């Protein structure tokens, strides 16, 4: 009897170690680009890691989410609208889809966001600000809203598109469309509206009722709210940009952006840092530990760390450092053993993969050898899986002493979402910038024609 009991415990323990971890939202389970899975391959064969399947997708920058063996992607055709597609993670078979009209196109056209999967529902926010809660069993919407136009934001111009460069009117549709990755917090679904009548909005996740909203917090950016721990409590952090020099209403307009800490249950503002200098903010804030918050940007303006401290009954955000030698234009850095890793490619700067310590000291840069520019990274089993923003997938050992690539292979196709005109000059000819997703040892990557499933475990 004792032997049988021990055998059962052993089998259960072994099964527990191989259970797949879901990747149910932008940046993974904890929204910090980190996977709890183990058993990662420590090197790849000369031919590269095996591609288990591939499916055709529309062009864009939106990444997948994975839950219970299914992959969800908010795909897009600019002439028609958005389509939520559900795939079997094992073989790539499309199981179902839900589409709605949302025509329009902007510079760098295509999809924008990552779905969020929670307790039998998928939450999406589309190119034009359409928010949907879709039942994974019926494949039909439970509720819908628009995070932009519901709060006095103007719809896309006739024929689609956002405002161009130059001064824009209050509430003009964003130049690069609405870019929001929904966050589920308890019974709430939280997104940043950034419209004239709301900064951040929390909906009841099952009914769509607005539970709270903040006033406008500043200029329109492309940052999704994120959570950090301050004195053991959850703070919701929103980042707003500084004055865009190409859109200011007067030559003297030169306002700084903000990091704002909110109570996620009520929307009450808890603290503010008001000296953020990045006019097009995309990457959300991340928790750097010990009440520290790290925010990165592009456009040669770098990164800022603040520490949140209690003074009496109030929280105060104190700057720890700001550096122009570290940043990431589209995603937050990966944090591992007290060091940050980010892809610092901007319009005019090609620092490649960069490592920085907690004090803001740069440890190394790959520059263009090899180059990394707006790709995506996941920390898993002590290693980093990274796309370089172009064609290659890398396996990297994070080390503050030097760049340590273990393997690499071309797994993404050429051709950017918009390689002509100013978009091509700024973004380059290959713009594979979509976030990654990992579950059950299957890594999902995408370019502007296909989503591929790559085997990365033994």
- The CA-atom distances, in angstroms, between 168 and each of 68, 112, 157, 249, 250 are 44, 22, 13, 7, 11
Q: Give me the count of residues in the chain.
A: 458
**Mean pLDDT throughout 403-416?**
94
- The CA-atom distances, in angstroms, between 357 and each of 16, 121, 352, 402 are 35, 39, 16, 13
What does DSSP assign to residue 149? G
Is pLDDT above 80 for 224?
Answer: yes
Label residue 12 by pLDDT band (50, 70, 90).
Answer: very low
CATH number (3.40.1280.10, 2.130.10.10, 3.40.50.300, 2.60.120.1030) of 23-455 reads 2.130.10.10
Average pLDDT, the chain: 93
What does DSSP assign to residue 96? E
**Mean pLDDT throughout 204-226?**
98
Smallest CA-to-CA distance from 129 within 158, 104, 109 is with 104
Q: What percent of the chain has pLDDT over 70?
A: 93
CA distance 236 to 217: 14
Label residue 5 by pLDDT band (50, 70, 90).
Answer: very low
Report whether 57 contacts 451 (CB < 8 A).
yes
**Mean pLDDT throughout 132-158?**
96
Is pLDDT above 50 for 18?
Answer: no
pLDDT at 170: 83
Is pLDDT above 60 for 6?
Answer: no
The H-or-E segment that residue 421 falls in is helix 421-427
What is the chain's percent helix, strand, coil content, to nearest 5?
Answer: 5, 45, 50
**Phi then psi for 399, rounded to 5 degrees?**
-150, 120
Is pLDDT above 70 for 307?
Answer: yes
**Mean pLDDT throughout 410-426?**
80
pLDDT at 10: 38
**Phi then psi for 426, rounded to 5 degrees?**
-80, -50
Is pLDDT above 80 for 456?
Answer: yes
pLDDT at 180: 98
**Mean pLDDT throughout 394-417?**
94
Report whether 412 contacts 374 (CB < 8 A).
no
pLDDT at 159: 61
**Mean pLDDT throughout 329-357?**
96
CA distance 174 to 154: 9
Smallest CA-to-CA distance from 414 within 445, 447, 443 is with 447
Q: Round to the nearest angstrom and report the end-to-end CA distance of the chain.
A: 35
pLDDT at 418: 74
Which residues, in sequence order, are bridge partners of residue 272?
A: 260
Is pLDDT above 70 for 9?
Answer: no
pLDDT at 346: 87
Is pLDDT above 60 for 17?
Answer: no
Degrees (nearest 5) of the Cα angle 67, 72, 75?
Answer: 170
Tell me the three-class secondary structure of 167-196, residue by residue: CCCCCCCCCCCCCCCCEEECCEEEEEEEEC
What's the alpha-carbon Rg for the chain, to the nearest Å?
21
3-state SS class at 274: strand
CA distance 201 to 183: 11
Smallest CA-to-CA distance from 377 within 292, 279, 296, 293 is with 296
Smallest CA-to-CA distance from 130 within 200, 61, 182 is with 182
Q: Is 338 exposed, middle or buried (0-12, 13-18, 19+ CB in 10 A)?
A: exposed
In the chain, where the domains are located: 23-455
User: What is the residue whose two structure tokens read 């130049």?
Assistant: 175
CA distance 44 to 139: 38
């Amino acid at each position: 009897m004792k032997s049988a009991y021990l055998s059962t415990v052993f089998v259960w323990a072994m099964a527990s170690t191989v259970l797949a971890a879901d990747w149910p939202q932008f940046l993974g389970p904890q929204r910090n680009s980190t996977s709890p899975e183990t058993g990662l391959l420590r090197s790849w064969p000369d031919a590269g890691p095996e591609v288990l399947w591939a499916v055709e997708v529309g062009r864009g920058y939106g990444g997948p989410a994975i839950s219970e063996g299914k992959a969800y992607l908010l795909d897009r055709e600019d002439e028609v609208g958005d389509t939520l597609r559900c795939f079997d993670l094992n073989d790539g078979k499309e199981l179902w889809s839900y589409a709605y009209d949302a025509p329009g196109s902007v510079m760098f056209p295509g999809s924008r966001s990552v779905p969020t999967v929670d307790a039998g529902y998928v939450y999406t926010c589309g190119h034009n600000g359409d928010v949907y809660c879709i039942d994974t069993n019926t494949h039909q919407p439970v509720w819908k809203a628009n995070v932009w136009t519901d709060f006095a934001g103007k719809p896309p111009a006739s024929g689609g598109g956002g405002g161009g460069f130059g001064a824009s009117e209050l509430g003009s549709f964003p130049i690069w469309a609405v870019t929001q990755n929904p966050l589920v917090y308890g019974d709430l679904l939280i997104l940043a509206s950034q419209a004239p009548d709301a900064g951040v909005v929390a909906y009841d996740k099952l009914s769509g009722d607005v539970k709270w909203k903040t006033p406008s917090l500043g200029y329109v950016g492309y940052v999704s709210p994120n959570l950090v721990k301050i004195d053991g409590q959850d703070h919701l952090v929103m980042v707003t940009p500084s004055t865009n020099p190409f859109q200011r209403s007067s030559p003297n307009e030169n306002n700084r952006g903000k990091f704002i800490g909110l109570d996620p249950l009520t929307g009450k503002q808890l603290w503010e840092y008001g000296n953020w200098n990045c006019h097009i903010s995309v990457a959300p804030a991340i928790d750097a530990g010990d009440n520290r918050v790290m925010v990165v940007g592009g456009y040669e303006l770098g990164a800022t760390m603040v520490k949140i401290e209690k003074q009496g009954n109030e929280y105060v955000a104190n700057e720890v450092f700001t550096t122009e030698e570290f940043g990431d234009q589209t995603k937050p850095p990966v944090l591992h053993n007290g060091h940050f890793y980010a892809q610092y490619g901007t319009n005019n700067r090609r620092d490649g993969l960069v490592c920085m310590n907690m004090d803001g000291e740069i440890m190394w840069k790959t520059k263009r050898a090899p180059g990394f520019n707006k790709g995506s990274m996941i920390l898993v089993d002590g290693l980093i899986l990274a796309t370089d923003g172009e064609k290659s997938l890398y396996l990297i050992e994070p080390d503050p002493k030097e760049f340590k690539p273990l393997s690499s292979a071309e797994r993404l196709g050429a051709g950017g979402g918009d390689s002509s005109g100013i978009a091509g000059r700024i973004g380059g000819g290959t713009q594979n910038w979509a976030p990654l997703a990992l579950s059950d040892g299957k890594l999902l990557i995408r370019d502007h024609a296909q989503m591929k499933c790559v085997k990365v475990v033994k």
